[in-house]
Structure 1
Amino acid sequence: MSKPVILLVDDEVVVLDSLKIQLKKEFGNQYFYEVAESADEALEILEELEEDNVEILLLVSDWLMPGMKGDELLIKVHNQYPDIIKVMLTGQADEDAVERAEQQANLHSCLRKPWDKTELIDTIKSGLAK
């Protein structure tokens, strides 16, 4: 049985790298950390992981990305994989988008960029504790 996955989605590689480093430092090898640079790539990864019977625990997504916005992605993910814990990480989401994600995607939390490492880790821990 492979380890459960935390999926990180952001169109900026530097953000993905930073998130991955912080999570690995905190959680070590408890999880696999997958990254996607777009909503479409994230959906492909989710599909592949599901086909391989890999448990996806949590998804952290940016809001402002080319193509599909983060709230749209989270709603799609929620409709297909309702058990995945969803966190939005954003520098510029409008309140409507956050509210939409809360109502339609069961958003666990919305963190603002630049994020506080402790707040990020605490949010992920509280999400995983669900």
Structure 2
Amino acid sequence: MSSPFIEQLRADMRLRGYSLKTEKSYLGWVRQYIFFHKKQHPKKLGSNEVREFLSWLANERHVAINTQKTALNALVYLYQKALGITLGDLNFSLATKQRQLPVVLSPNAVVNITLVRLAR
């Protein structure tokens, strides 16, 4: 069972009309943030701790920039909309890892593979 605080956030997101995927993602990031700071309540934390968490994601976990931005959005929601606390300028280190595109075969490569298989 989730903590009363997490359930309160869930109820707030439902009232605001957030999608279920966004809700699940944001709650996951809020949980990671709380555990990162040794289960301290977010009201006791502030912009320095948010900056530390986001920088840790980039420097230690090596997450992609879009993953870091999703975590940032979750924490901005947490502080600004749910807790009514303004974070101000965070000035954290951005992730440098870019999204990896899948390797796709060219049409010629597909023809070559097909020809090799047919020749067997």
Q: Which has the larger radius of gyration?
A: 2
TM-score normalised per structure 1: 0.34
Structure whose residues are more often helix by fraction: 2
TM-score normalised per structure 2: 0.36
Higher relative contact order (CA 8 A, sep 6+): 2
